Amino acid sequence: MRRGRAICRLVTQNPAPTADPTPAPQAGGSSPALPAWDLSDLYAAPDDPGLAADLARAEAEARAFQAAHAGRLAGLSGDALAAAIATYERIEEILGQAMSYAQLIFSGDAQSAENGRFYQTVQERVTAISSHLLFLTLELNRLEDAVLEAKLRQSAALARWRPWLRDLRVFRPHQLSDELEKLLHEKEVTGRSAWNRLFDETIAGMRVEVAGEELTVSAALNNLSAGDRSLRAAAARGISAAFGERVRLFSLITNTLAKDKEIIDGWRRYPRPTSARNRANMVEDEVVDALVSAVWSALPRLSHRYYALKARWLGLEKLQHWDRNAPLPEDSDVSIPWAEAVARVRAAYGAFSPELEGVAAPFFQKPWIDAALRPGKASGAFAHPTVPSAHPYLLLNYHGKARDVMTLAHELGHGVHQVLAAQQGYLMSSTPLTLAETASVFGEMLTFRAVLDAEADPRKRRTLLAGKVEDMLNTVVRQVAFYRFETLLHEERRQGELSQERIGEIWMQVQTESLGPAFDFSPDYSVYWAYIPHFVHTPFYVYAYAFGDCLVNALYGVFREGHPRFQEKYLDMLRAGGTKRHQELLAPFGLDASDPAFWNKGLDVIAGFIDELERDVQASQGTAAPALPQTGTG
């Protein structure tokens, strides 16, 4: 079910900063108001009579639908079954709109007790209503393949739903009895969802002391990319202290959710902790294994090599964890006004495809983006598709940094993808996570190349290139490291509850392996796993970012080579929504993600950027500069 699902911006280094009530000054010293969204296209307010009416109507229709069809799907003709699915979709979309609104309200201020109560109330109501709809997917999966195929051949109306039925039946071997499925569905609000809410409200309410100032978690994390090393170190100490004080709670949340997942995975007969996520992403375990293996094998020529270069660039013998996202010495760190950020992103989209920019334009002409900084606002950034009958909303937290411009380009990519895919309808517009990151990362790449190509100053170009390399390492290496951390944690959790110290040991092991010998990790870094929301909300989500980045690197290479009708094919790929798998979507571009060599094409792009930086730095330091290590073939 896609109800209330936001496509989240990756947590690479720090979540995009939020919740500092004073916006960072824009260029020229002014602080113009940043855009905030207006959710009235969904509902006017939490007490809007329209929301109550929609939920009442959905409940009545769901009960009637269950009374008319439960236990009878097998006997329906193809046309009648198609009509039943269409009715199901219509009711689900009503519930999806209500749930989306509640989630967006909560994201706007998670510190508000009233918002938390409203979110929980709507979630409980939607869960109760949707329990009357649950039978449809369960009964469809009980149909034998031959029976369903006969219905599909007999009815053009039903054939329209073939992609949705195909994806639904991926879970057929893992489906439980109707009673158990209903129990799990209804207990979600007091199970995983409740732990998610506890995590969110805990993070939102935390304050971190940095250099004598009380900051939100997001604002403190933002200081890890400050130019002043003493400020970075102070922020790191404050974050470690704040999470160290609460690490027992975060360990309890993590252990409980991992055990909960183990129990459900056991009942559903999933072979390993990652399998359920891979099925949801419509990607084979072997394809994910190939991606992870390729990235891990490439560490010496990617992250290890780059951070050795960065240490030299910063004049440090060893990097500390708070140096990982430090700006480079040549980085002027000029604040970029919001209007300039918008102009850069729109120009890059328009240069690629005027049609794509036309789809993006309403996000800036209407109140569909919330970029303002305020207490309680959700950390990070996301694009929420809401429902096809409305439009997506984007959340980000804009501090005027170059990375914030790329975050805007990223989330806008999600937004235009969701708009284009909306024509597929509520059930088939949503894409697997692996494909959901394609348009977002591609939008980032378009914006980066446009900015880089327009820059004539060699030093500024070098800084831009280094920033892009760091973003790509954060997107690929760091996310795969997160995935390995989750994998080790979930596998070990099957032997019993993990202590907070053991979780920290696993974290430090994976971080040391992924970032390489240029770092000297201090013990206080062992609690940094606790702020990553993906571990709590969507286990094993993170590899989708690496999947998307490598896929886009290969896709962008095809574009740069002048592939015929690329823009047309690309927009068609976005319009397909969830109706096609990655093999079908990539075939028009001559790409195949099941080929192990495919991933190395994407990794080679990152390595090539590092090669260019290395040559540039060595040239600037003189020919006597020692070469950086280049071991590993990937």
Please give the pLDDT value at position 511: 97
Q: What is the mean pLDDT of residues 348-353?
A: 97
Mapped onto helix, strand or coil, the DSSP state of residue 269 is coil
Q: Residue 346 above 50 pLDDT?
A: yes
**Of 63-67, 130-134, 377-381, 498-502, where does mean pLDDT reach its minimum?**
377-381
Please give the pLDDT value at position 5: 52
Buried b (16+ CB within 10 A) or exposed e, 48-59: eeebeebbeebb
Whether the CB-CB separation of 16 and 410 falls below 8 Å is answered with no
Within the chain, what is the greatest distance between any pair of CA atoms? 81
Q: Residue 23 above 70 pLDDT?
A: no
Residue 466 has which token pair? 């280094």
605/187 Cα distance (integer angstroms): 46
- Give residue limits of the domains in the chain: 30-235
Nearest CA to 215 out of 35, 15, 22 is that of 22
Angle at 517 between CA 617 and CA 462, to 5 degrees: 20
415 CB contacts (<8 Å, ≥6 apart)?
360, 363, 368, 383, 392, 394
Residue 375 has which token pair? 């207490």
258/491 Cα distance (integer angstroms): 9
pLDDT tens-digit series, residues 357-385: 999 999 999 999 999 998 889 878 999 99
DSSP secondary structure letter of residue 587: G
186/189 Cα distance (integer angstroms): 7
Please give the pLDDT value at position 632: 32
354/519 Cα distance (integer angstroms): 45
The band of 456, judged by pLDDT with boundaries at 50, 70 and 90, is confident
Q: Which amino acid is at 245?
A: E
Given 1.10.357.10, 1.20.140.70, 3.30.390.50, 3.30.70.20, which CATH number is that of 30-235?
1.20.140.70
| Residue written as token pair 């027992």 | 248
Q: Where are the beta strands (DSSP E) in 171-290?
A: 208-210, 213-215
278/393 Cα distance (integer angstroms): 27
Whether the CB-CB separation of 193 and 186 falls below 8 Å is answered with no
Ramachandran assignment for 577, one of left (phi > 0), alpha (psi -120 to 50 degrees), beta (any other): left
Residue 181 has which token pair? 């499925």
Q: Residue 14 above 50 pLDDT?
A: no
Please give the pLDDT value at position 247: 97
Residue 203's φ and ψ, nearest 5 degrees, are: -65, -45
Residue 240's φ and ψ, nearest 5 degrees, are: -60, -40
pTM of the model: 0.82
102/115 Cα distance (integer angstroms): 8
